[in-house]
Amino acid sequence: MRCPKCGSRDDKVIDSRQSRDSSSIRRRRECLKCKYRFTTYEEIERSDLRVVKRDRTHEAFDRRKLAASIAKAFEKRSTSLLTLEDTVDEIVHELETSGREVPSSVIGAKVLEKLRGIDEVAYLRYASVYQRFQDVDQFVDAIHTLGRRAKPNALQRELFPPETAQKPAPRPGNFPISKNHGRV
């Protein structure tokens, strides 16, 4: 490895650690000539994945391009960088296991699927570019397809959980409550 300060090729590795998902290795190095310390990352080169574009041309898959397009959709949104990285990792893993050539439409569909579950505004931003929205009606249609689904809050318990939403057991010592409220 060439030293970024003096250009010497003589260095030693001081520390090596795996990333949290074990996809890369972080190495701390020290130049033997100038004693400058620097960090390098080592990961598997995946150059065999090719993208088939809309115009049927082929190009090498670029993870940075995917990450940049997703980051653009999340611009000025309150989503952590870790969430974005995990999303990109999941999409890349799915693409790598699907074959050597992947149509760009499949990549776009996978991104939309992930974004829909994370942030609806980011979903709409990405969809507007991916699906080439031409007018406001297409935005309105996309909003309607999102629907008005309830968003669960992890901190709040379910009021009527599906498994306990059965008929309540009779109360001991009390008469059953009639629905006609005492009228015959």
- Please tell me the distance from the alpha carbon of residue 27 to that of residue 18, in angstroms, as a whole number: 9
31-78 pLDDT per residue, tens: 999 999 999 988 776 657 889 998 999 998 888 999 999 999 888 888
pTM of the model: 0.54
Provide the 8-state DSSP code for 142: H
- Please tell me the distance from the alpha carbon of residue 54 to that of residue 121, in angstroms, as a whole number: 25
Give strand pairing partners of 25. 18, 42
- Which tokens sit at 68? 């940049």
- Residue 175: inside a domain: no
List the domain range (segments joined by +) for residue 57. Answer: 50-146
- Residue 136: inside a domain: yes
pLDDT exceeds cutoff 50 at 165:
no
121-162 pLDDT per residue, tens: 888 888 888 777 778 877 777 777 777 555 555 555 655 666
- Residue 152: inside a domain: no
Structurally, how many domains does the chain consist of? 2
- Residue 170: inside a domain: no
Whether 37 and 64 share a structural domain:
no
Whether 63 and 111 share a structural domain:
yes
Tell me what pLDDT residue 110 has. Answer: 92
- Please tell me the distance from the alpha carbon of residue 28 to that of residue 5, in angstroms, as a whole number: 15
7-27 pLDDT per residue, tens: 999 999 999 998 777 778 999
